[in-house]
Amino acid sequence: MAPKDFIGYPVPQEGPRAEYEKAPENNPVLRGTALTVAANIIAYVPGVASLFWNNAGFGTLKDLPELDGMPYRFHPIVTPLGDSKMLPIDASLTESKNTLTSSSSSKYYTAADYHAMYKSGAITPLQVAETLIPLTKKGAYADAWADTHGKEHLALEAAKASTERYAAGKDLGVLDGVPIGVKDDLDIKGMVSHVGMKYRPDVKCFEPKDRTEWFLEKLAEAGAVFIGRNKMHELGMDTNGLNIAQGTPTNHFNNAYYPGASTSGGGSALGAGIIPIAIGSDAGGSIRLPSAFNSMYGLKTSHHRTGYYNLSTCVRGPLAASAADLTIAYRLMSQPNLDDPAQTHYGVSQLPKPGSKRVMGIYRDWWNAGDPEVVRLCEKAVDYFATQRGYEVIDISLPLMGEARVAHAMLCVAETYETTRRKTPDQPKTGWMGLVGTVNRLLMSVASVTRANDYLKANALRELMMRHLAWLWQQHPGMLIMTPTSPMIGWPRHPGDEGGLSDTNTTVKNMMYIFLANLTGTPAVQAPVGYAEPKQGTGKLPVGIQAMGEWGAEEQLLEFAREAQEYIEEASDGGRRRPETWFDVLGETKKAFKKDV
């Protein structure tokens, strides 16, 4: 029986037994001229797109007997009921634990550190903004930031207002004046949302937005300063972060590797220390993967927890350099908008009750499919949680994982295609193909031939997977389903990528652990657990672990993230690290304005 304190909770029902299967690697890797030729053939030669569509396995779902009679679920919304009042941002989240004189190689500033410096009068929010904005325009850190088209004054005005509040002793709290990055697909009034595409002033979708999204308004009301727009993968449709239209952000841990997924600019800027918090979106790991590749924390929220979005796999959420800041950002941006039909009944996520049983579930066949060093580092962390934090580790099983992976991928590309197609009603000749590069011309052309029966069956499979998860959580209340975040030790750059890269095999592999939360609408959190030797370049690469919780369990996941931060800082081999290019924002600001530390 489904619990009564939810709306839309799936019927708890065990799914069919099935062996775990790795994704087939039957897609060609295309770069440069070969990619351009393939994209044009697929886009313009009738029938070719359907061949690629079938090669991806998208035509296999309609004949699954397990889906006969299974209802379709077009959005995985499971709404926890209860009080909607935000949990308080208490002293455990707002206490500054760093000093400017600290020599620790793992030091990352938090919102609390900025707040303490502002309160002391040592520096001001305006001075920080004046230090950072030039870094978003030119130099080693600029490739994480999209063009703001002369709108830098918006950040400066917000920082000036914050400075005046501090001077009057009327600051708004720990986030007042703190610089935040915002992904380039999230709307801010007066600014362009490029969605990773090349800017076209003649196309209506590139006009400055006339509103700021609700969850960003909540952060702004707390005094956050949106210091700039973070670059992203074009349309968000890959998991490496390569962008030939705008330029690719740097992975500061090892610049021979990509920064990961489509919130790539946010991950890059966080890893370099430029900002303590970034806000992103996640349809296929685009919050969690850049967090993993840059040794950060990232929260994929329950579906529509931060507001309605007309894609059935995508949510908005925070990335942060610390678990405390991840919690602060989440609590503020998840305040429900009662005018939003998806949020009307959302009760605030609650911390687990004291004394609640702590359980970690692991599907061993899925877990062991990752790179051996990734698996080793994650197993070491799980051993710590079991022996030092009181978690019971149990084995679980999940059904039809290969088919579910196909369903997720098909839903992502089909829904993104339709969203992109409708961006250009004013460009009847070139249409959406005039907006995107060769990779998305190929991918969106394949997506355009999606058939209704397969789309429907993907949503039936979503329901089957949600029912199985509900059954697991009825068997093991409060269980966290554990996996690595990515099975890979980074995504290496290769010569020729600069002209575009289509490597579907690696894309799908990189999403191996993260896709299930997107398909089923569950929340999931990423936390760094160690570092691995690279195969190229200089600098060890971060490895992350993912915990997936029941619908509405964000606060439980954030509590786990705080425990995971203690693990990497105090119990992991070598502790937490930061790259050599880490930028000391507070120290450099103070130096620039000629005040002693």
pLDDT, position 27: 87
pLDDT at 104: 63
**Token pair for residue 470?**
């509900």
Type of residue at 266: G
| Residue 31 DSSP SS3 | strand
CA nearest neighbour of 273 among 594, 590, 580, 592: 580
What is the sign of the dihedral through the CA atoms of 205, 306, 482 and 90?
Answer: positive
Distance CA 585, CA 6 (A): 44
- Give the containing element (helix H, strand E) for 216: helix 214-221
Structure tokens at 102: 């600290």
**pLDDT reported for residue 426:** 60
How many residues appear in the chain? 597
Q: What is the pLDDT of residue 368?
A: 97
Do the Cβ atoms of 367 and 394 come closer than 8 Å?
A: no
Contact 294, 272 (CB under 8 A): no
Instruction: Measure Cα distances from 202 to 359, 427, 429, 432, 434 in Å.
Output: 55, 9, 14, 13, 12
Measured distance CA(194)–CA(265) in Å, rounded: 13
Amino acid identity for residue 493 in this structure: R
For residue 85, the tally of other CB atoms under 10 A from its CB is 10
Furthest-apart CA atoms within the chain: distance in Å: 71
pLDDT for res 413: 95
Question: What domains are there in the chain, each with its CATH number?
Answer: 79-395+480-592 (3.90.1300.10)
CB 303 within 8 A of CB 75: yes
510 neighbors 25 (Cβ within 8 angstroms):
no
Residue 432: exposure state from Cβ atoms within 10 A (0-12, 13-18, ≥19): buried
Tens digit of pLDDT at every position of the chain (597 positions): 567 799 999 999 999 998 998 888 888 999 989 999 999 999 899 999 999 999 989 999 999 999 999 999 999 999 999 999 999 999 999 988 764 444 466 789 999 999 999 999 999 999 999 999 999 999 999 999 999 999 999 999 999 999 999 999 999 999 999 999 999 999 999 999 999 999 999 888 999 999 999 999 999 999 999 999 999 999 999 999 999 999 999 999 999 999 999 999 999 999 999 999 999 999 999 999 999 999 999 999 999 999 998 999 999 999 999 999 999 999 999 999 989 988 888 999 999 999 999 999 999 999 999 999 999 999 999 999 999 999 999 999 999 999 999 999 999 999 999 988 888 766 666 678 888 999 999 999 999 999 999 999 999 999 999 999 999 999 999 999 999 999 999 999 999 998 999 999 999 999 999 999 999 999 999 999 999 999 999 999 999 999 999 999 999 999 999 999 999 999 999 999 999 999 999 999 999 997 544
H or E element: which one contains 134?
helix 125-135
Region of residue 78 (phi > 0: left; psi between -120 and 50: alpha; otherwise: beta): beta
For residue 100, what pLDDT is reported?
A: 44
Residue type, 475: Q
**Cα–Cα–Cα angle for 412, 415, 418, rounded to 5 degrees:** 145
For 475, which DSSP code? H
Half-sphere exposure of 407 (CA within 13 A, CB side): 31
Pairing between β-strand 30-31 and β-strand 480-484 as defined by DSSP bridges: unpaired
Please state the pTM of the whole predicted model. Answer: 0.97
Instruction: Give the CA distances from residue 158 to residues 142, 222, 226, in Å, rounded to whole numbers and listed in that order.
Output: 21, 11, 8
Q: What is the pLDDT of residue 597?
A: 44
Which ranges of 297-451 would DSSP assign to H, the alpha helix? 323-333, 364-367, 372-388, 401-421, 438-447
Question: Euclidean distance between the first and final Cα of the chain, in Å?
Answer: 61
Q: How far is the C-alpha of 65 from the C-alpha of 86, rounded, in Å?
A: 44
- Distance between CA atoms of residues 597 and 592, nearest Å: 11
